[in-house]
Structure 1
Amino acid sequence: MKIKSFDNIYHIHRDSRVKRWFYIFIVAMVVVLFIPWTQNIQLKGNVTALYQEQRPQQLNSPIPGRITKWHVKNGDYVKKGDTLLQLAEIKEDYLDPKLLQRTNDQVVAKKGVRDYYQAKVGATNIQLQAINAARELKLKQLKIKIAQLNNKVAAEEAELGAVNNELKLSEDQYNRQKKMYDDGLVSLTQFQQRSVSYQNVLAKKTAIENKLAQTRQEITTINIEQNATIQDYMEKLSKTEGDRFSSLGQIQGSAGEIAKLENQAANYQARQGLYSVVASQDGQVVQLNKAGIGEILKETESIGTIVPKQVDYAVEIYVKPVDLPLLKIGQKVMCIFDGFPAIVFSGWPNSSYGTFSGKVIAIESNINANGLFKALVIEDKGQKKWPPQIKMGAGVKGIAILNDVPIWYEIWRNINGFPPDYYASKTEKSKSADEKSK
């Protein structure tokens, strides 16, 4: 007797389909082995800013001081130039509240001293002109007097010559008269008259010679006076020039002291503007590490950090040395930001969800302290925009996109431990050759 339940439970009389499904599975596996697979590199990094001025900036105290008032708290948004806190002076060199005013008074006083010496130099110049004029006048007077005496000497020498001629004639007459007197041809009275005439001419000659010698002595005296005058005025000019140079030295010294005091005054005025610590740019104040009123800040000590408001975000990714040759400028990188859900198919990046496209713009040639090389990735403007909610320093996972290969090749490569394809395509090689030739 045939039982239906037995036939329904045990399919003894039915044909087996295991072989058919086995062949279907084998065919499917062969087909899958030829499906394209995108080679990639798994990377880690963090969010940063593209430009240095957009990265978090430390707030430092420009001068040592004591905190007197806070204008912000952690998390506040500020604009460039907003006052963050007030400082009071603690250095004894700057405690005088009228320090700037007194320094300016010193500058005014030094300028008065400089003006005094400048006036003295002007008076000395006038005095030098007067002394030179007086010297020239005196020397002209002496030269005129010497010229007059030379003329007088010439006249007296001519007069002496005439007297000498007259004396010679008188002497001849006297000698003849004496001979005639000795011969008795003339009387004693006539001889005495001739003798008197001869003596008068001789006396006249002596008087003219004395007069000429006196005139010549006067010329010598005038020459001595001229030399003495030159020496005297040289001493006066030297003394006045010395006073002038001394005044000029005082002016230069005053100018140096004035410049020094003006520099101090400018420094004091600039220092007064440093008692207010202001924001260097628009952004958020975070990580304030000083609390309360009265705390002392050292020079250049960190107060906190300001995170810029406007940021061109980029991603710093770290690459193993073995993977470094696989990266190049313009390389496509898929970024997965912390806090944003993503479904990733590493072999099919176009089918992934929650990833954002970027491209490599720089690769550092120097290895970092962590033993990895750093590359900089920016947003690919032609693809989906990066989320505006990302923050500085957030973690990022990157997938650097490489070549498309069949799955069987990728399996074979991994089994043998071969790296991804290091070689550029012929098109890329020709492009790089063209760039080098240019």
Structure 2
Amino acid sequence: MLNISDNNQVYITKGKYKTVDNLVNRPHYKILNKLIIVLSIVGLIALFLPWTQNISGSGSVTTLKPDQRPQTIHSAIAGRIEKWYVQEGDFVQKGDTILFISETKDDYFDPNLIANTKQQVDAKKMAVDSYSGKVGALETQMGSLEREKNLKLEQAQNKIRQSELKVKSDSMDLEAVKTQLRIAETQFKRAQQLNGEGLKPLTDVEEKRLKLQASEAKIITQENKLLAAKNDLINSKVEINRLMAEYAEKISKADSDKFTALSNKYDTEAQVSKLENQYVNYSIRNGMYYIKAPQTGYVNRALLAGLGETIKEGTPIVSIMPSGYDIAVETYVNPMDLPLISKGEKVRVWFDGWPTIVFSGWPGMSYGTFGGRVVAIENFISPNGKYRILIAPDNDEQKWPEQLSIGAGAQTIALLDTVPVWYEIWRTLNGFPPNYYKSINGSENTKDKK
């Protein structure tokens, strides 16, 4: 400040004023000065006292296993509430009936729906058996046709062989007749010559003429027989082709009928499977009208009330708390502290409503806290911006109170490294994370992030 005024500064010196001397010499000022000095020394010493670094968190009491936590029973099908069998606070065993609902969909109104579906299944099964019998009969028919075809073919082959032999025989007969004709011509000519020379009578010539004419007639007859035999041979060969075509048609028709029956059989089997599926579904749905307790526990709260109320699929009905459970604590820690916590680490826990005196830096002086161990660490951040940690009781320490109820508030402290108080104050003012040291071979301490 600039001294630009005319005011003269006056300094008060000791001994100049009696009142000032009396104030300075008061005895309680000496005591206060000594007290300040002592407190300063104690505070300075306290700065070098050991302080246990820790990570604090808050949460609530829960159960260790998911199936031991309070659960809500839902309706698997749509229906209408007809009757309640329990009330809030009742103890129910697994399988006890909680509620009965009736059907609301017109597809399931028939009271004999299951029996009718069973009859349809049985009828379709009999149809499958009928088609199986038809397939067997057609296979038998095809076998019979195949055997008959083979016999007919064998018969036709024999007939062809007979025709071939008859043609051969007629050919030989024709040659014999031709030979006879030549002999008859020779004899006729010789008889004419001898008759002309007067050695043979005319009657011999006429007789030889008759024999010649008879031989000529036999040749024509024998040629006709040979041609007829050849025609029979051709007809026999044609008969084989006709038999092959006829039985091929009959066997193909039986084979086609067989595949048609098989197709109908497979189609009916598919219908049987579909009907059996419907039958099972109807039977299961019929059992869903009675909503039962999935496990033993207490009925906490009825989420629906009254009779005649219509509900949809998946509608929550009642909340059940299992009677037997393993207690645990779920707590939430800041993201900065998450790398400092590992599975199996020891944690101190105290509960709301339980007498507790807590010194976070000196856990040995705390009262009313209980030991726990980290059993699970959630790796995805929760909606509250923190990470969830699950803590189970430590079997090596005092048991947790039996009076604890699910959902009660809980506070936790995870103990870390021990440092001087002044270091902890300095760390807190600078916003640094707590120390975490990992021992290597039990001799060297190195600062290492997990």
Amino acid in the other structure paired with 1:310: G
Alpha-carbon distance change, 189 to 90 in structure 1, aligned in 2, over 3 angstroms: same
Instruction: Find the aligned partners of 2:233 and 2:427 in 1 and give their Cα distance.
Output: 126
Q: Could you give the per-residue CA deviations for residues 187-220 of structure 1, whole angstroms, max 9, x where no partner exists? A: 3322222222222222222221111111111222
Amino acid in the other structure paired with 2:107: D
Instruction: Find the aligned partners of 2:329 and 2:442 in 1 and give their Cα distance.
Output: 26
- CA drift at 1:99: 0.7
| Partner of residue 80, structure 2 | 66
2:142·2:251 contact (CA, 8 Å) conserved in 1? Answer: yes
Residue 351, structure 1, aligned to residue 365, structure 2: yes
| Partner of residue 146, structure 1 | 160
The TM-score, its normalising length taken from structure 2, stands at 0.85
| Partner of residue 93, structure 1 | 107
Amino acid in the other structure paired with 1:215: A
- CA drift at 1:423: 4.1
Q: Could you give the per-residue CA deviations for residues 127-156 of structure 1, whole angstroms, max 9, x where no partner exists? A: 333333333333322222222222222222
| Partner of residue 252, structure 1 | 266
| Partner of residue 3, structure 1 | none
Amino acid in the other structure paired with 2:293: A
| Partner of residue 303, structure 2 | 289
What are the within-5 Å matches in structure 2 for residues 19-38 of structure 1? 25-38=39-52
Amino acid in the other structure paired with 1:146: I
Deviation larger for 238-247 or 413-422? 413-422
Instruction: Find the aligned partners of 1:19 and 1:226 in 2 and give their Cα distance.
Output: 143
| Partner of residue 257, structure 2 | 243
- CA drift at 1:109: 2.0
Instruction: Name the SS for the 2:410 alignment partner.
Output: strand
| Partner of residue 109, structure 1 | 123
2:64·2:327 contact (CA, 8 Å) conserved in 1? Answer: yes
What are the within-5 Å matches in structure 2 for residues 50-199 of structure 1? 50-182=64-196, 185-199=199-213
- CA drift at 1:431: 11
Instruction: Name the SS for the 2:349 alignment partner.
Output: strand
2:62·2:329 contact (CA, 8 Å) conserved in 1? Answer: yes
Amino acid in the other structure paired with 1:32: A
Instruction: Find the aligned partners of 1:321 and 1:288 in 2 and give their Cα distance.
Output: 38
1:325·1:422 contact (CA, 8 Å) conserved in 2? Answer: no
Alpha-carbon distance change, 22 to 52 in structure 1, aligned in 2, over 3 angstroms: closer
- CA drift at 1:400: 1.5
Instruction: Name the SS for the 2:438 alignment partner.
Output: coil
Percent identity (aligned): 43
Alpha-carbon distance change, 326 to 119 in structure 1, aligned in 2, over 3 angstroms: closer
Alpha-carbon distance change, 422 to 74 in structure 1, aligned in 2, over 3 angstroms: same
Instruction: Find the aligned partners of 2:445 and 2:231 in 1 and give their Cα distance.
Output: 111
Structure 2 stretches lacking a partner, 5+ long: 1-24
- CA drift at 1:429: 9.8
What are the within-5 Å matches in structure 2 for residues 216-235 of structure 1? 216-235=230-249
Amino acid in the other structure paired with 2:245: Q
Alpha-carbon distance change, 85 to 197 in structure 1, aligned in 2, over 3 angstroms: same
Number of matched pairs:
422
| Partner of residue 402, structure 2 | 388
Instruction: Find the aligned partners of 1:428 and 1:182 in 2 and give their Cα distance.
Output: 160
- CA drift at 1:255: 1.4
Q: Could you give the per-residue CA deviations for residues 216-273 of structure 1, whole angstroms, max 9, x where no partner exists? A: 1122222223322332222222222232222222222221212211211111111111
Instruction: Find the aligned partners of 2:445 and 2:240 in 1 and give their Cα distance.
Output: 98
- CA drift at 1:306: 1.6
- CA drift at 1:159: 1.7
1:135·1:230 contact (CA, 8 Å) conserved in 2? Answer: yes
Amino acid in the other structure paired with 1:56: P
Q: Could you give the per-residue CA deviations for residues 48-96 of structure 1, whole angstroms, max 9, x where no partner exists? A: 2222212222200011111111111122221211111111111111111
- CA drift at 1:36: 1.7
Instruction: Name the SS for the 1:378 alignment partner.
Output: strand
| Partner of residue 305, structure 1 | 319
Alpha-carbon distance change, 428 to 264 in structure 1, aligned in 2, over 3 angstroms: farther
- CA drift at 1:417: 4.2
Residue 338, structure 1, aligned to residue 352, structure 2: yes
Alpha-carbon distance change, 228 to 412 in structure 1, aligned in 2, over 3 angstroms: closer
Alpha-carbon distance change, 295 to 172 in structure 1, aligned in 2, over 3 angstroms: same
The CA RMSD over aligned residues, in Å, is 2.8
Instruction: Find the aligned partners of 1:429 and 1:96 in 2 and give their Cα distance.
Output: 81
Amino acid in the other structure paired with 1:384: Q
Instruction: Find the aligned partners of 1:77 and 1:300 in 2 and give their Cα distance.
Output: 24
| Partner of residue 200, structure 1 | 214
- CA drift at 1:416: 4.3
- CA drift at 1:418: 3.6
Given candidates 293, 318, 321, the residue that maps to 2:332 is 318
